[in-house]
Structure 1
Amino acid sequence: MSPPGSSLTNQWHPPDNPIPTHTSSYPFISPTKHRGALQDKVVLITGAGRGIGRATALAFAAAGARIACISRTKQDLQTLVAEIRVTHGNLDGGGGDPSHQRALPILGDVTDLSFPARAISETEQNLGPIYILINNAGLSRVSDLEHEADIRQPWKVVETNLLGAMSFTQSAIPSMIARNSGVIINVVSILGKLGVSSPYFSAYAASKAGVEKYTEVIDLELRPKGIVTFAVHPCMSLETSIAVGCMNEVARREEPGVGRFMDEFVVANTDKVDLPADTFVALCVEEGAKALSGRFVDATYDLEEQIRLAKER
């Protein structure tokens, strides 16, 4: 019998894969390499309060960006923005003028269809035009189908992951098109890839597959207008809170396979959140990364090699 997590890890990282893999940041995407490279560029990050989103906000702040941090949790936002301001300061070294803020907290739910326009308007008024949009807000659900009694629970996953990304993109692109520049990063998952399947993640996998296809299609429209898009699998990490509260406890009790699967799944989550955070920054800074526009990018695979292979193709 395979040790816990081994079969899952091998599925995500096939042994015959020629591209080197990483579990944490590495020289090509290092923060020291890109420090100040996005000076005063405005970045909007959904799901910024915890895990990958929080690490991403800190990484972009280190690169000199101004960040609109979106979350449903007020305390998480306050803590994050305070850390950014203490570590990186405001543009004038003070805190009086909103236009000089390094980070802006915005409280809201990405499934509220009126929220994206409000959030983008508030960002542009206080920080300036949005140059980078990172659709990171995510929700998961672990359950077998037999014990999923209320369809509204898995549907909330689809609304958060797919509808949230689509609605924020729709609201952000007018000003990007007007300026003929912009970057959109949609956070997807290896679990949404064709040929990579795991049981009990049906809603999550379907929603992430939808985001990936959405990215591929909008790239055909937006790249000629100066906007690049990426669908990025970030990593599998215990440092993110996306799995908190996602378990259908009835399914865990009634279907033994659910519990066994989650035991293996948790053990396999060995990556660090600085890996996707620094990858996102590199995708916005490295000129060669444009070769990956519209494509699926795996942050656990060496980015320099992914760019090289994309250029060859």
Structure 2
Amino acid sequence: MTQNNALLTGKVVFITGASRGIGAAAARLFAAEGASVVLAARSREPLDLLVKEIRTAGGVADAVTMDLADRASIRAAVDRVEELHGRLDGAFNNGATIQHPGPLDTTSDEDVDVQFAVNFRAHWVAMTAEAALMRRGGAGAIVNTSSIGSRRANPALPAYAAMKRALNSLTETAAVTWAPQGIRVNGITPGGTATEMIDAWEAATPGVVDRITASTPLGRMAEPREVAEVAAWLLSDRASMVTGAIVPVDGGAGA
């Protein structure tokens, strides 16, 4: 399964939001690129199926259930990585939740609370736990999934975009703070990507996919693997001088 010039050979990589979409694509890709992957999400069944698929193809994979809204659950998942492998080389903090689409003045307090807990605080908790484990090995790399919506006004998803913009700031701060310890931290900002999250948005607001496609210079939605490819490179030693970057993966939509 592993290629001779694989990006992630010998690395232990933790992936959140791994049961579907970009996270599942990353699990398959990172394993194919030589990583031992530990997959985390709330739902155990899709994780187990993915682990079986990767192992059948000759890869190394394990699963752990984790709730991004639960700080103890996140820390326990990172502890499980240590139990399995004794170290952590890379982390792809990809898990997220969409808000109920609607304008700023109709976004509920409850929606804001969920967005804060899952799309911002969870990354803070995960990153600090991941970095603590990485320090024991002397180095590591973290990639956070943000959104094109973090780079500009987002009237349809105001709370989601606000938390993702805060995540960009946190990513940059962590990169500067942890660079002396050999830990690189970067973010990616996908544009329209063919995932279940976009499907849910389309169901709530018909026409979203057409509008996203029309506003993308490359003229199409991204496939989840295309986003995962960028994360794989950022986690690899080939990106050894890249930290504090927020990398667009949006087909030119943010240009």
Judged with a 3 Å threshold, the aligned counterparts in structure 2 of structure 1 residues 126 and 272 are, in CA distance, closer, same or farther, namely: same
Shift of 1:113: 0.9
Q: Report if the CA contact (8 A) 2:12-2:87 is conserved.
A: yes
Q: Give the counterpart letter for 1:170 in structure 2.
A: T
CA distance in 2 between counterparts of 1:235 and 1:107 reads: 27
Matched residue, 2:58: 88
Q: What's the TM-score once normalised by structure 1's chain length?
A: 0.72
Matched residue, 1:94: none
Judged with a 3 Å threshold, the aligned counterparts in structure 2 of structure 1 residues 123 and 261 are, in CA distance, closer, same or farther, namely: closer
CA distance in 1 between counterparts of 2:201 and 2:32 reads: 32
Q: Report if the CA contact (8 A) 1:235-1:272 is conserved.
A: no
Shift of 1:272: 1.1
Shift of 1:63: 1.0
Matched residue, 1:158: 116
Structure 1 or 2, whichever has the larger Rg, is 1
Matched residue, 1:66: 36
Aligned to 1:126, the other structure's residue is in SS state helix
Q: Give the counterpart letter for 1:135 in structure 2.
A: N
What are the within-5 Å matches in structure 2 for residues 170-181 of structure 1? 170-181=128-139
- CA-to-partner distance for each residue in 1:38-61, whole Å, 9 max, x for gaps? 223110000000000000011110
Aligned to 1:68, the other structure's residue is in SS state strand
Shift of 1:244: 4.9
Q: What's the TM-score once normalised by structure 2's chain length?
A: 0.87
Shift of 1:132: 0.4
Shift of 1:178: 2.8
Q: Give the counterpart letter for 1:55 in structure 2.
A: A
Shift of 1:186: 0.7
CA distance in 2 between counterparts of 1:52 and 1:42 reads: 18
Q: Report if the CA contact (8 A) 1:275-1:300 is conserved.
A: no
Q: Report if the CA contact (8 A) 1:48-1:54 is conserved.
A: yes
Q: Give the counterpart letter for 1:120 in structure 2.
A: V
Matched residue, 2:230: 279
What are the within-5 Å matches in structure 2 for residues 140-155 of structure 1? 140-141=98-99, 142-148=101-107, 150-155=108-113
Q: Give the counterpart letter for 1:241 in structure 2.
A: E
Matched residue, 1:206: 162
Q: Give the counterpart letter for 1:84 in structure 2.
A: I
Q: Report if the CA contact (8 A) 1:34-1:285 is conserved.
A: no
Matched residue, 1:242: 197
Q: Report if the CA contact (8 A) 2:143-2:235 is conserved.
A: no
CA distance in 2 between counterparts of 1:301 and 1:32 reads: 27
Aligned to 2:188, the other structure's residue is in SS state strand
Matched residue, 1:264: 211
What are the within-5 Å matches in structure 2 for residues 1-313 of structure 1? 34-35=5-6, 37-89=7-59, 102-141=60-99, 142-148=101-107, 150-193=108-151, 196-238=152-194, 240-245=195-200, 264-265=211-212, 270-287=221-238, 289-300=239-250
Q: Give the counterpart letter for 2:103 in structure 1.
A: D
Q: Give the counterpart letter for 2:57 in structure 1.
A: T
Q: Report if the CA contact (8 A) 1:46-1:71 is conserved.
A: yes
Structure 2: tracts of 5 or more residues without a match: none
Q: Report if the CA contact (8 A) 1:110-1:116 is conserved.
A: yes
CA distance in 1 between counterparts of 2:119 and 2:180 reads: 26
Q: Give the counterpart letter for 2:110 in structure 1.
A: R
Higher relative contact order, structure no. (Cα contacts within 8 Å, ≥ 6 residues apart):
1
Q: Report if the CA contact (8 A) 1:234-1:275 is conserved.
A: no
- CA-to-partner distance for each residue in 1:163-214, whole Å, 9 max, x for gaps? 1111111111112223220001011111101xx2232110111011011000
Superposed structure 1 runs of 4+ greater than 6 Å apart: none
Percentage of pairs with the same residue: 25
Q: Report if the CA contact (8 A) 1:143-1:248 is conserved.
A: no
Root-mean-square deviation (CA, aligned residues, Å) is 2.4
